[in-house]
Structure 1
Amino acid sequence: MTGKRKYKTKGVFYTKKEAKLAADEVEKKINNPNFLDNENITFGEVYERWIANYKLTVKESSFYIIEIQYKSKILPILGNKKINQITTIECQDLVNYWYSIPLKNYKVIFNLVTRIFKYAKQLKIVANGSHVISYYS
């Protein structure tokens, strides 16, 4: 995007063949048009992808309500965090915070967060075995 090259390191290899296989795998991922740098993608970026698709499936009024909830309650807290670094404890603390405000519809907002994690799982941005994903499944 910026025109600058990004470099990727991949551990220590004991043979040239091992290094070549790893390099081929990384190159294949990068050349894939759907490639996302999973290590640096934020919750907000996944949300932007999800909301663009969601908008096509619901009425404008429903979309507007959901978008307001995300922008006011979820994105200020989780938006800039890397999605694969959000922990189960952070999520539980967030739910506890919403409950303590008191926020009457905290369960609805929790379900909205769940949608983003499930979407990230579908896109393979987060691993199936991720502790946060298992929390939401």
Structure 2
Amino acid sequence: MATFRKYKTKKGMLWRYQILVGTDTVTGKRKYKTKGGFYTKKEAKLAADEVEKKINNPNFLDNENITFGEVYERWIANYKLTVKESSFHIVELQYKSRILPILGNKKINQITTIECQDLINYWYSIPLKYYKVLFNSITRIFK
């Protein structure tokens, strides 16, 4: 449910909406989607309705609950269509043997930069010759 407020700017009185999206799993604080700059309440309501439709859509990716493994599954299905079968199998093997056992069950929004760096340092210390390739593979998933 959206809330609407009128506020004053140099341009005059404008409207904005605020929608509760969910709560942050780490901090427990509520997360809101806010946008302003509407000249009428009706314009703000139409824009808020569009955002609420996207949020309530079952295909909407809820970053709070999606895991790295789920994002990988979506990515690998698209990746398979763009490369040769031999290349696909090599990449799939790398993910399944080195990346998914470590990051697969973690929620995507809880994976930190430091955690990724520690993983790369670990691969380097093994010594794993293709640690840069694995790093680039993880980067593709996050993008």
Cα displacement (A) at 1:41: 0.5
The residue aligned with 2:141 is 116
Cα displacement (A) at 1:24: 5.1
Letter in 2 for 1:68: L
The residue aligned with 1:41 is 66
Count residues with an aligned counterpart.
107
Indicate the percent of aligned positions where both proteins have the same amino acid: 88
1:104 aligns with 2:124: no
The residue aligned with 2:92 is 67
Q: Which runs of 5+ in 2 are unaligned?
A: 1-21, 24-28, 31-44
**Distance in 2, Cα, partners of 1:33 & 1:62:** 33
Aligned-residue CA RMSD in angstroms? 3.0
Higher helix proportion: 1
Structure 2 counterparts to residues 11-30 of structure 1, below 5 A:
11=30, 27-30=52-55
Greater RCO (Cα-Cα under 8 Å, separation 6 or more): 1
1:92 aligns with 2:100: no
Higher strand proportion: 2
Please identify runs of 4+ aligned residues in structure 1 that moved more than 6 A: none
**Distance in 2, Cα, partners of 1:45 & 1:102:** 29
Closer/same/farther in 2, CA of residues 40 and 25 from structure 1, 3 Å limit: farther
Cα displacement (A) at 1:25: 6.9
Letter in 2 for 1:57: T
Cα displacement (A) at 1:105: 0.4
**TM-score (normalizing by structure 1):** 0.67
Cα displacement (A) at 1:27: 3.6
**Distance in 2, Cα, partners of 1:30 & 1:95:** 35
Compare CA radii of gyration and give the structure with the larger one.
2
Letter in 1 for 2:141: I
**TM-score (normalizing by structure 2):** 0.64
The residue aligned with 2:3 is none
